[in-house]
Amino acid sequence: MPARTWYKRFRAAAYVNAVVWLAWTVAILLPFPPFSYLQPIIVGSGPGVWFLVGYILFVTVSVVGFTAISSLSFVMEVNELRELNYGSMLVGFILLYAGTLIGCILLGIAGAIGGYVVVIQGATADVAHSVLAAYVDPITVASVSAVAGAALTIYGMATAKASKH
């Protein structure tokens, strides 16, 4: 595998994630249903917090985090001429990307659906709890995957070797 490619992969992922984040932002601002329900759901608290947390985590990890990893990888690969641990970086990248994307999107979906049931339809907290409960395990698995991916990525950078090029 050619050296000096990880920063490009993380940068490309940051760009893709920025487009997803922009689409998510536009969806929040659209003035017609079902999108027009999102602002009252966020303000209504409860399940809307799940939506907001998913949104904030997505921009923080998927855009800013991937950009930061790309920058660090660039310094290591280009300036320091170090070769990052390929296996660790590959598995770390996949787990971090998939875990973050899936976990944050599921948080957003759960918050939007749960918030709609409570804020728009006026359902009880028990109904909202049953809606949100279905998302807890998948979000947990995605979160653990993202954390494992971050750990493997850090390991892949920490064990970088001097390049033979």
The reply to whether omega before 138 is within 30° of 0 (cis) is no
Compute CA distances 140 → 31, 62, 83, 136, 162, whole Å: 32, 17, 33, 6, 37
87-121 residue pLDDT tens: 999 999 999 999 999 999 999 999 999 999 999 99
Q: How confident is the model at residue 1 (pLDDT cuts 50, 70, 90)?
A: very low
pTM listed for this prediction: 0.92
Residues 6+ apart with CB under 8 A from 59: 21
